[in-house]
Chains A and B, each alone.
Chain A
Amino acid sequence: MSDTGIIAENVRNHVVICNWNDLGDQIVRELRSSVIAEQKPIIIVTDDLESLPAAMRGGETAFGGNVIQEQDDPYEGVFIVPGNPTNERVLLRAAVKSAETAIVLSDPREGDHADAKSVLIALAIEAIEPEVHTIVEILKSKNRIHFQHTLVDEIVCIDEFSEKLLSQSALTHGLSDFYMRLLTATEDTNEVYLVEVPERFVGKTFREVEEAVFNDETEDAILIGIQAVADRLNGEQKVYNRFGHQLSERVLTINPPSKENLANRADLQKRGIRDRSYKLQEGDRLVLIAYHLPKLGKPTAE
């Protein structure tokens, strides 16, 4: 496994995609959009090479796998590590240790047991590097509970997403268009950006920053929420990593409520929701709708 060392040294802050399904192509294309300033390397870990797009199956061997050639532009800088992503050694070859994000897609070959395989992969990634930001696609929302005891950062259940989107679109006409525009990374559409609070906004309230951002002539951006640092909780208990360090997380508050409204909502307070008069602190983030990463602060990195 000499290749492992080569990758760990050479590839950093990359995106690892475990398993491959029809979402994979969409994800690669989105990550290669022209509005993404920093094009990160992508490593695909799968033992189902047949399912990969034809353009990906050829190419030179590198790092014990294949490198995608420029025949198809979005696949420039995309590597394949063949092997089962539940296997720790295979994940090490994909340099999960130094990855910024790991995406676990559901394996269509597993049928109804695809979520079980995703749990195994998520646990394997955590065992190697708990700090990597893990996003898992699950097929059944009832399996969400199995991920509660893992350190998975984000779970995407497509059925859940579509149910909500379909019902809300029926009530509020044009809503799917709104989401498509926010989720499509092109230069003439908006995206949601999370940016560190710039120094000049530290100590200011949401209301003040909202006005300042909207009136900033160098940017076309709208502030819709904030992300403040809070203790990571599992139910009501704090979460610690295997080294005994308490984990923290950023709690998202969209459209913060007024102080008076929040005072009557103990449940929201417990979740760490901030009110409109909350004074932004260093380390907090602004949630912005903008056409490109606004130059209010440095780009975010987990």
Chain B
Amino acid sequence: MLKAVDLVSVRWYLQAFRVKKLSLLLGILLGLWLFGAGVIWMAERDEAASPFNSYTHALWCSTVYLVSGLDEEPPATTVAKLTTVFMMLVPAGVLVLLGTFCMATFSRLQLLAGHVKICPEDTTFKDHIVICGWNTKGDAVIRQLHADQFEQGTMRRPIVIVSEQADSIPITNTKAYQGVWAINDDPVQDPVLEFKACVKTAHSVIILADETAGKAGGADAATVLISLAIQTICPNTWTCAEILDHRNEIHFERTAVTELVSVRNIAGKLVARAAQQHNLTKLFMDLLEVSRDTNEVYILTVPKQLVGQTFEQAHAIVRKTKRPEMVLAGVQTSGTKKRHGEVVKDNFDNEIRTKVLTVNPPREGREMDSEMSTRFFSAQAFDDERVSRDHKLSSDDRLVIIAREEPDLSILAKEHTE
């Protein structure tokens, strides 16, 4: 992955320094040099007294004509004289052009300095993160995605920002913004997402709310449009959208969005929970902060050695692990998407498959009173069927782990089997 980022950087430098045009100008100069020297030598080679009758000397004189003017005696033949005049006038123009070109290039680079680099044309990305749209949260999102903790390993991925103001995004932290590329275009356009941002091969897509849209409704409508464009191109790409008004959640039902972050909705819940259980905000902020000092929540594939074990057995194995310290908090299984108890189907009448998360699986047979459980929360009820502690883990399942760094679960299982 890092190699891919480096290659893009090389391509960016080639484009930023306009190496193609520079090469063309240098090529013209080289051609003129060789051509001039050749013509002078051809014209003068039969003149015994002429100093230009050797090609190497003609090349030397040609060099002098290019940069300063006449060196020694003038050539004897008319053709050589005319060529000399040509060599003194035309390349001078080319040299001026070259100088101007270099100045323009450096001025342009000066303007671009401190801003996110524009992605070179025809660049392809894989396993990257696409950010559609840009708002005040974008900078912090990038800092989190490229936090020091992810300096090494698979978690640090290239980031591609698609926004109409992408080229004016300032770099606030050089380290965090390494491997961040801007596409200065409208994220609603299918071709932009498909061919420039390569959403088909992306690890995730984040859609930021358009804060300039005025009301929450306008911003959420723009988010719906982008998610519909992604749905058309690649319905299976993991898409996470920020919405400003949770009442708009329903509009995302048949879009590609797999995670909706309704900020104020979650914040309201957090404040209410903190009023009940004091200091809970610290707990959640600790879990959400990406740093070496804090814990994060990881959802990781079940290692081979744990396949076939129950959640209860897996919990015992995790408890026994001394390094790294972690807590097994839940399991993610495959299931069908449901809303108000009914299976959600796509436009072709196929059941939509989704990942079902069970935090703290209960013991077998513990049932809940669904009528009571959804009081005041009918729109947000969790309809999917959760698994119990006796659920046997399969290779498609994933474990929800709380740890300070991404744990290598294969080591965990080996430790246990030893």
- A: residues with CB less than 8 A from B are 15, 22-36, 73-74, 101, 103, 105, 133, 135, 137, 153-156, 158-194, 207, 210-211, 214, 217, 220-225, 227, 250, 252, 254-258, 261, 267-268, 276, 287, 289-291, 300, 302
Q: Which of A173, A183, A185 contacts B259 (CB 8 A)?
A: A173
B402 and A224 contact, CB distance less than 8 A: yes
B288 CB within 8 Å of chain A: yes
Within 8 A of A (CB), among B368-418: 368-370, 372-377, 380-382, 386, 389, 398, 400, 402-404
Consensus secondary structure, chain A interface: mixed
With A161-B266, A172-B299 known to touch, is A256 a contact of B315 (CB < 8 Å)? Answer: no
A170 and B274 contact, CB distance less than 8 A: no
CB distance from B276 to the nearest CB of A (A): 6
A220 and B264 contact, CB distance less than 8 A: no
Q: Which of A27, A153, A175 contacts B272 (CB 8 A)?
A: A27
Within 8 A of A (CB), among B218-259: 238, 240, 242, 258-259
Q: Which of B203, B270, B366 contacts A161 (CB 8 A)?
A: B270
CB distance from A56 to the nearest CB of B (A): 15
B267 CB within 8 Å of chain A: yes
A207 and B376 contact, CB distance less than 8 A: no
Q: How far is the CA of A211 from the CA of B266 in the complex (A)?
A: 31
A156 and B281 contact, CB distance less than 8 A: yes
- A300 contacts across to B, CB distance below 8 A: 277-278
A23 and B267 contact, CB distance less than 8 A: yes
- B129 contacts across to A, CB distance below 8 A: 170-171
Residue of B nearest to A214 (CB): B315
B359 and A190 contact, CB distance less than 8 A: yes
- B259 contacts across to A, CB distance below 8 A: 169, 173-177
Range, interface on chain B:
35 or more
Residue of B nearest to A187 (CB): B373
B353 CB within 8 Å of chain A: no
- B: residues with CB less than 8 A from A are 129, 136-137, 140-142, 144-145, 150, 155, 157, 203-206, 208, 238, 240, 242, 258-261, 263-290, 293-299, 312, 315-316, 319, 322-323, 325-330, 332, 355, 357, 359-363, 366, 368-370, 372-377, 380-382, 386, 389, 398, 400, 402-404
B374 and A135 contact, CB distance less than 8 A: no
- B275 contacts across to A, CB distance below 8 A: 15, 27, 31, 101, 103, 133, 135
B261 and A261 contact, CB distance less than 8 A: no
Q: How far is the CA of A211 from the CA of B319 in the complex (A)?
A: 8
Q: How far is the CA of A221 from the CA of B398 in the complex (A)?
A: 20
CB distance from B136 to the nearest CB of A (A): 7
Q: Which of B208, B278, B322, B368 contacts A258 (CB 8 A)?
A: B322
- A302 contacts across to B, CB distance below 8 A: 278
Between B242, B267, B316, B386, the greatest number of chain A beta carbons within 10 A of the residue's beta carbon is seen for: B267
A291 and B360 contact, CB distance less than 8 A: yes
CB distance from B209 to the nearest CB of A (A): 9
Q: How far is the CA of A211 from the CA of B316 in the complex (A)?
A: 8
B298 and A156 contact, CB distance less than 8 A: no
Q: How far is the CA of A225 from the CA of B295 in the complex (A)?
A: 11
A222 and B272 contact, CB distance less than 8 A: no
B369 and A187 contact, CB distance less than 8 A: yes
Q: How far is the CA of A136 from the CA of B270 in the complex (A)?
A: 12
Q: How far is the CA of A255 from the CA of B328 in the complex (A)?
A: 10
A73 and B376 contact, CB distance less than 8 A: yes
- B285 contacts across to A, CB distance below 8 A: 160-161, 164
With A135-B274, A185-B272, A256-B325 known to touch, is A167 a contact of B145 (CB < 8 Å)? Answer: yes
A207 and B319 contact, CB distance less than 8 A: yes
- A160 contacts across to B, CB distance below 8 A: 140, 285
- B271 contacts across to A, CB distance below 8 A: 23, 27, 103, 105, 135, 137, 156
CB distance from B130 to the nearest CB of A (A): 9
- Closest 6 pairs between A and B when the two form their complex, measured CB to CB: A26-B268, A30-B272, A167-B144, A163-B140, A187-B373, A164-B288
B290 and A23 contact, CB distance less than 8 A: no
B377 and A186 contact, CB distance less than 8 A: yes
CB distance from A264 to the nearest CB of B (A): 12
A254 and B273 contact, CB distance less than 8 A: no
CB distance from A168 to the nearest CB of B (A): 6
A186 and B266 contact, CB distance less than 8 A: no
A250 and B279 contact, CB distance less than 8 A: yes
Q: How far is the CA of A175 from the CA of B355 in the complex (A)?
A: 11
